[in-house]
Amino acid sequence: MRRKKHSDPSSLRGWKKGTAYLVLIFQAFITIFPLYIMIVTSFKENKEIFQHPFALPQSFDGESYRKVLELNDFAAYFRNSIIVTAAAVALFLVVSLLAAYALGRFRFRGNGFLYIYFLLGMMVPIRLGVINMFDTFNKLGLNDTLLGLVLIYSAMSIGFSVFIMTGFMRGIPVEIEESAKIDGCSHFRILWNILVPVLKPAIATALIYNFVPIWNDFYFPLIFIQSENLKTVPIGVTIFFGQYQTDWPTVFAALTLAALPVLIVYFLMSKQFIKGLTAGAVKG
């Protein structure tokens, strides 16, 4: 009788690992290649872009970046985006932390209803209420103000943030807070000194997940901002598109500068972000 050949488990694991690495390399290429094209194109001339779209530029003179920084008040657009994004992130993180602490640590009538109410913010697109928001903001004097954008972005980010932080909060053992309560710590000190350090992965996940759409949003500034000095970066980039011709190196230089804050935030918080994404698998 012929013996049945058994596959080597180590070789099978090696084949799976190699396949996984190939898939990851392919995904990394898909992600990095557009960034490469954007950065390389920002140093080219218009003629060179169409002749050699994927090649390196003949010179790295940075003329397009000088045009972006000197023309059309792009620095003011950048400043407005930083103010709006930073204020919105700070506001929705504070509100989400307090809401998650109440929902995850206290049992009261309506707890489940409030949790579902926050989750509805993830299910219903905020753009459906833009007409009512415009009318309300007009009555409150918030049209054409950065504060109006901050309130909109905070409202649309709270649902997901509460969902993430409440799940983490409920997974933290209550025993670690009992000694603090015996020592007379207030709820605020327990939240800030004990729970927030443990919640760093959840906070980083909520921050990065919401930072990107807030920074890149074109829709709400286009509707609610009319003053030139209050426009944000996504609106400011459109001024480099001409009616009959477009200076593409300048456009890509503006896009490169606009992408820098997102990349910086991700690199600074990527470790906590990955922990937040994998925490559910580790606990399970």
Query: Per-residue confidence at 7, pLDDT binned at 50, 70, 90?
Result: low
Span 176-201, pLDDT tens digits: 777 777 777 787 888 888 888 888 88
Rounded CA-CA distance 276/200 in Å is: 8
Name 109's Cβ contacts closer than 8 Å, sequence gap at least 6. Answer: none
Span 50-62, pLDDT tens digits: 888 888 888 787 8
Q: How far is CA 89 from CA 94, 150, 173, 235, in A?
A: 9, 9, 28, 20
Span 195-251, pLDDT tens digits: 888 888 888 888 888 999 999 999 999 999 989 889 999 888 888 777 667 778 888
pLDDT(284) > 50: no
pLDDT(92) > 90: yes
Rounded CA-CA distance 12/7 in Å is: 7
Three-state DSSP string of 77-107: HHHHHHHHHHHHHHHHHHHHHHHHHHHHHCC
Residue 41 near residue 250, CB atoms below 8 Å: no
Residue with tokens 């009616």: 243
Instruction: Determine the 3-state secondary structure of 39 from DSSP.
Output: helix
Instruction: Determine the 3-state secondary structure of 259 from DSSP.
Output: helix
> Looking at residue 149, what is its pLDDT?
94
* DSSP bridge pairs for 241: 246
Q: How far is CA 206 from CA 122, 160, 215, in A?
A: 13, 7, 14
Dihedrals phi, psi of 270, to nearest 5 degrees: -65, -35
> Looking at residue 104, what is its pLDDT?
84
Rounded CA-CA distance 76/232 in Å is: 8
**Which of the residue ranges 116-125, 165-174, 218-227 has the most confident prediction, judged by mean pLDDT?**
218-227
Query: Per-residue confidence at 281, pLDDT binned at 50, 70, 90?
Result: very low
Q: Is the whole-model pTM more than 0.85?
A: no
CB burial class (10 A; 0-12, 13-18, 19+) of residue 18?
A: exposed
Instruction: Determine the 3-state secondary structure of 113 from DSSP.
Output: helix
> Looking at residue 187, what is its pLDDT?
79
C-alpha distance across the termini of the chain, in Å: 46
pLDDT(108) > 90: no
Span 62-83, pLDDT tens digits: 888 888 887 767 888 989 999 9
> Looking at residue 6, what is its pLDDT?
52
